[in-house]
Homo-oligomer: A and B are copies of this chain.
Amino acid sequence: MLVVMQSHASEEQVRAVCERIESLGFKAHPIPGSIRTAIGITGNTGAVDIGSLEAMPGVVECIPVSKPYKLVSRDIKNENTIVRIPTPLGDVSFGGSAVAVIAGPCAIETRDQAFSVAERIKQIGARLFRGGAYKPRTSPYSFQGLGEPGLKILAEIRDSLGLGIVTEAIDNESLDLVEKYADVIQIGARNMQNFSLLKRAGRSRKPVLLKRGMSATLDEFLMAAEYVMSEGNYNIILCERGVRTFSDHTRNTLDLSLIPAVQRLSHLPIVVDPSHGTGRRNKVIPLSRAAVAVGANGLLVEVHCDPDRALSDGMQSIIPIEFEQLMREVRQIAGVLSRSIN
């Protein structure tokens, strides 16, 4: 924490702030500037939050400084983490030189619906299939997912088509089941700070796809991953899916600058979800191109054979023929960056 003093703060005021800091067991480092003095605080345990300092005479404001994350940071591990997902068709990796694509419907609605999408996305070249069996919906009256029967359909798709399975867990109970049936456990944006769920995911041996919360800062996002890692699970794929802003021409505002920002601070791979990130079908392909161009380690895309009759998120699902175009275009963009698609 840094304490900024008023320009006319007296020496006694500066001294009094330093003494308060030291009396609480921290160390004070006054930095006399030409206009005003600032006082750095260091201590031996994480962030320092001293509420009373701001009320002391001569103090303008207190600015938090420390970055509290550890395990997610390049401070601890400088080389990129590569998360490997074993599938019957071979491993798919996040964080290496290839860009990995996960595709499928928002929700598993029926066996037929799921298989028809899965077959098409496999033909088009994806090896990871997404589809929700548990759906966090804004309304209690909306379709909430099939639950375990949905997971069984996903397992069947894995067995018969060879695709790896990515699906969401929404509480400890569903996580127990998702862990059993799926290859990657997805934690949704609304649960990014459901710390109980993050800890449970941290005790799993399956990789975790962690989506950024709707209004999470970069620090909060990395701290959520830190929760998972602090319990022992180091296989985390981060996911940018748009944040909430005043901007109303898309459902969310896709924050692509997060990709290089995360890659600078953390060794974890990060993918982009252009479907939730825009909420509009006609923007999924251009933003997928942009995501690969900015350097994302992968994409998470909603594909549905009949979006108009989808039980959720039909507005943002593309159809297989559009997914084919998407794959063709991102493959070329990836090539420009000397990367491939897997």
- Contact partner of A253 among B62, B257, B286, B289, CB < 8 A? B257
B-side contacts of A283, CB under 8 Å: 257, 260-261
* CB of A61, distance to nearest CB on chain B (Å): 8
B-side contacts of A325, CB under 8 Å: none
* CB of A209, distance to nearest CB on chain B (Å): 18
User: Are B246 and A215 touching (Cβ within 8 A)?
Assistant: yes
B-side contacts of A255, CB under 8 Å: 245, 247, 253-254
* CB of A113, distance to nearest CB on chain B (Å): 15
B-side contacts of A52, CB under 8 Å: 281, 307-308, 314
Given contacts A51-B314, A67-B60, A245 and B248 within 8 Å (CB-CB)? no
Alpha-carbon distance between A315 and B228 when the two chains are bound, in angstroms: 27
- Contact partner of A217 among B190, B199, B247, CB < 8 A? B247
Alpha-carbon distance between A78 and B123 when the two chains are bound, in angstroms: 37
B-side contacts of A336, CB under 8 Å: 289, 329, 332-333, 335-336
User: Are B195 and A54 touching (Cβ within 8 A)?
Assistant: no
User: Are A249 and B139 touching (Cβ within 8 A)?
Assistant: no
Alpha-carbon distance between A69 and B141 when the two chains are bound, in angstroms: 9
Size of the chain A interface, CB-CB below 8 angstroms: 119
* CB of A234, distance to nearest CB on chain B (Å): 14
**A245-285 to B contact mask, C-beta < 8 Å, 1/0:** 11111100111111111001100000000000110111100
- By DSSP majority rule, is chain A's interface helix, strand, loop, or mixed? mixed
A96: Cβ under 8 A from any B Cβ: no
Please name the residue on chain B nearest to A317 by beta carbon. Answer: B51
User: Are A42 and B51 touching (Cβ within 8 A)?
Assistant: no
B-side contacts of A214, CB under 8 Å: 214-215
Would you mind naming 24 contact pairs between A and B with Cβ atoms under 8 Å apart?
A2-B65, A6-B75, A33-B43, A51-B317, A54-B282, A55-B282, A68-B141, A140-B226, A171-B171, A171-B196, A190-B195, A194-B194, A243-B246, A243-B247, A245-B253, A247-B255, A249-B257, A253-B255, A257-B278, A257-B287, A260-B283, A289-B294, A290-B290, A290-B293
Given contacts A38-B40, A170-B196, A215-B246, 20 further A-B contacts (CB under 8 A): A24-B309, A34-B44, A35-B66, A50-B315, A51-B314, A54-B282, A55-B282, A68-B139, A70-B141, A140-B227, A190-B194, A190-B195, A217-B249, A218-B248, A218-B249, A245-B255, A249-B261, A256-B287, A286-B295, A332-B336
